[in-house]
A and B are shown apart, each in its own frame.
Chain A
Amino acid sequence: MKKILICVGSSCHLKGAYEIVEILKKIINEEELDTEIELGASFCQGKCTEGVILKFDQEMISNVSPENIEELFYREFNKGVS
């Protein structure tokens, strides 16, 4: 089970954390990945200027946006597989 934590602090929220959560939920739903991926929230990670901050398993990824999340998700998700 992989774990994705999205920062829901003030700055990340303003930079689109809500949209990112919605997009991720949609992908997980469509691809029926809910047994493989767990979504969660985190507080400010202290990197607000590089937000939105996302943790994919233990790896911290910065500058996530509603525009690049889909591409980023597949890249990270397939990392462990191939």
Chain B
Amino acid sequence: MFVETSVSRISKYNEELCGDNVEIVETEDSKIIVLSDGLGSGVKANILSTLTTKIASRLLEKGIPLEEVVDTITNTLPVCKERQLAYSTLSILQIFNDGRAYLVEIDNPDSFFIDSKGNISKIETKKRRVGDKEVREARFQLKNNEMIMLISDGVTHAGVGGLLNFGLGWDGIAEHFERIISKYQSSNKFAEELIEVCNAYYCMEPGDDTTTVIAYFREERELTLFSGPPKNIDKDKEVVDKLISKSGKRVIAGGTSAQIVARELDEELEVSLLYHDPEIPPTSRLDGVDLVTEGLLTLNKTVERLKNVSCQEDLPKQRDGATELARLLLESDSINMLIGKKINPAHQSLRLPENMAIRKQIIKRLVDCLKEKGKKVTIEWF
């Protein structure tokens, strides 16, 4: 299973630094999210919350048990004496690959539990005292397609000093969030939209740092992309076998590559004449493959499309090969590329700029771009 995480935030109006801090740590069998809100805003708050999340995540990374980390931090976090001293809040959520989850909250608003149908509820916690702090803890089991959202109090307070006297509150946020979930698919978009709502209630002048982190527990989405004929024709069959044996989505980028697959599988390749975009050659259809596009030009355009967006919902509503490919890539968590090294002599005669014409370079740009977006990418060259 896979934990998709998304963070979205805005700083208090006129503050350059955000006093909220989020760290996400990956261990071998789990993902850990740490959220801290430094008292006040600006530099002091930022340093405090950074310290808190850094200490927590470093300790967790080293494999120190969560309970111990919580105790260490609560005992060392300075206490606010009439706001004389520095102080920051803390939430830690650890989700294991098998769905076991552990949540700790110290002075942050209650986290949100979202079931697979989009219904929101509070997570039942047990209270315990560590030093002079109250720690809320919960252990529970997540199922496929369930989510947890952590927030800083800037979220529940949205509206104070703006549209509302007391802010949206937990229930108000839950209501807005249910509506957002029903409209989009990616947690990236959920988080972004919720922060937009908060910002609007603050009349675009947030009275506090406002942060939301979403952890989305679901099946890992895989994609295998085959592009470019193998250097040695003997390898054709091996590559096609690899493409077909992989679970998840399958994509071919390249006319010659598509012909190789069609030949090996003894399937009919249907080429269409439908142009959704004059700059991008039409796509084709092949049984057992989710998308077949032209190679060179489409891949270049795909990188362009990807650069401009952070999630699939932000892509243009077009169905050309590049946009479709970008959508499939954004929807996936791990991407496996099978790239052939054979040079197409025809491309040489086109006198394209080097970084556009050489497959290795395009693939490199594509991979860089995908990694930046947090995708796991592996490449096999043939």
Is chain B a partner of chain A in the same complex? Answer: yes
Query: Is the CB of B206 closer than 8 A to any CB of chain A?
Result: no
> Do A8 and B258 touch (CB < 8 A)?
no
Cβ distance A77 to chain B, nearest Cβ, rounded Å? 18
- Chain A CB count within 10 A is highest, among B281, B294, B347, B352, for B281
CA of A71 to CA of B295 in the docked complex: distance in angstroms?
31
Cβ distance B248 to chain A, nearest Cβ, rounded Å? 25
Q: Mark A39-82, 1 if CB is under 8 A from B, else 0.
A: 11111100011010000000000000000000000000000000
> Do A8 and B271 touch (CB < 8 A)?
yes
> Do A11 and B347 touch (CB < 8 A)?
yes
Inside 8 A of B346's CB, which chain A residues have their CB? Answer: 10-11, 44, 48-49, 51
CA of A78 to CA of B361 in the docked complex: distance in angstroms?
47
CA of A48 to CA of B352 in the docked complex: distance in angstroms?
14
Given A9-B255, A10-B297, CB of A41 within 8 Å of CB of B347: no
Q: Mark B274-293, 1 if CB is under 8 A from A, else 0.
A: 01001001101000000000
Task: Give the interface size class of chain B.
Answer: 20 to 34
Query: Is the CB of B245 closer than 8 A to any CB of chain A?
Result: no
CA of A42 to CA of B255 in the docked complex: distance in angstroms?
9
CA of A44 to CA of B273 in the docked complex: distance in angstroms?
14
Indicate which residue in A13, A43, A48, A51 contacts B269 across the interface (CB closer than 8 Å).
A43
Cβ distance B118 to chain A, nearest Cβ, rounded Å? 42
Query: Is the CB of B350 closer than 8 A to any CB of chain A?
Result: yes
Indicate which residue in B259, B271, B297 contacts A41 across the interface (CB closer than 8 Å).
B271
> Do A11 and B350 touch (CB < 8 A)?
yes
Cβ distance B90 to chain A, nearest Cβ, rounded Å? 54
Of residues 1 through 50 on chain A, the ones whose CB sits less than 8 Å from some CB of chain B are 6, 8-11, 13-14, 17-18, 21, 39-44, 48-49
- Chain B CB count within 10 A is highest, among A6, A10, A13, A41, for A10
Q: Which residue of B lies closest to A6 (CB)?
A: B273
Query: Is the CB of B349 closer than 8 A to any CB of chain A?
Result: yes
CA of A24 to CA of B259 in the docked complex: distance in angstroms?
26
Inside 8 A of A9's CB, which chain B residues have their CB? Answer: 255, 281, 294
Q: Which residue of A lies closest to B278 (CB)?
A: A18
Inside 8 A of A43's CB, which chain B residues have their CB? Answer: 255-256, 258-259, 269, 271, 284
> Do A40 and B273 touch (CB < 8 A)?
yes
Cβ distance A6 to chain B, nearest Cβ, rounded Å? 7
Inside 8 A of A41's CB, which chain B residues have their CB? Answer: 271-273, 282
CA of A18 to CA of B255 in the docked complex: distance in angstroms?
16
Query: Is the CB of B296 closer than 8 A to any CB of chain A?
Result: yes
Cβ distance A73 to chain B, nearest Cβ, rounded Å? 16
> Do B271 and A10 touch (CB < 8 A)?
no
Inside 8 A of B347's CB, which chain A residues have their CB? Answer: 10-11, 48
Q: Mark B337-363, 1 if CB is under 8 A from A, else 0.
A: 000000011110110100000000000
> Do B281 and A17 touch (CB < 8 A)?
yes
CA of A72 to CA of B350 in the docked complex: distance in angstroms?
24
> Do A10 and B273 touch (CB < 8 A)?
no
Interface residues of B (CB under 8 A from A): 255-256, 258-259, 269, 271-273, 275, 278, 281-282, 284, 294-297, 344-347, 349-350, 352
| Contacts beyond the supplied A8-B294, A10-B296, A44-B256: 8 A-B pairs with Cβ under 8 Å | A6-B273, A9-B255, A9-B281, A10-B255, A21-B275, A41-B273, A48-B347, A48-B349
Q: Which 7 A-B pairs have the closest CB atoms?
A: A48-B346, A43-B255, A41-B271, A41-B273, A13-B281, A10-B296, A44-B255
What are 25 pairs between A and B in contact, CB < 8 Å? A9-B255, A9-B281, A10-B294, A10-B295, A10-B296, A10-B344, A11-B347, A11-B349, A13-B281, A13-B297, A14-B297, A18-B275, A39-B273, A41-B271, A41-B272, A41-B273, A43-B255, A43-B258, A43-B269, A43-B271, A48-B344, A48-B345, A49-B345, A49-B349, A51-B346
